[in-house]
Amino acid sequence: MLVLSRKCNEQIVIGDDIIITVVAIKGGTVRLGIEAPPHVSVHREEVLRAIRQAMENRNSMGENNQAPGSDSV
């Protein structure tokens, strides 16, 4: 893991098209602005976990709804 120090309004660039800006620092909270192309998904970690869990639940429900003895293709 790369650890960087940044001050308010300073940026980090990832590749050619992702820019992370420190927007505000207040107490123990840092606000970040993220500029990324539309094809790049940007989520908070806890939101991504919830999305993945919902997808797992949906997929497992699909597997449970198969008729007995039927093969999945």
pTM (2 d.p.): 0.72
Q: Per residue in 4-50, pLDDT tens?
A: 999 999 999 999 999 999 999 999 999 999 999 999 999 999 999 99
Q: Per residue in 15-26, pLDDT tens?
A: 999 999 999 999
List residues bridging with 34 in a β-sheet. 20
Biggest CA pair distance of the chain: 61
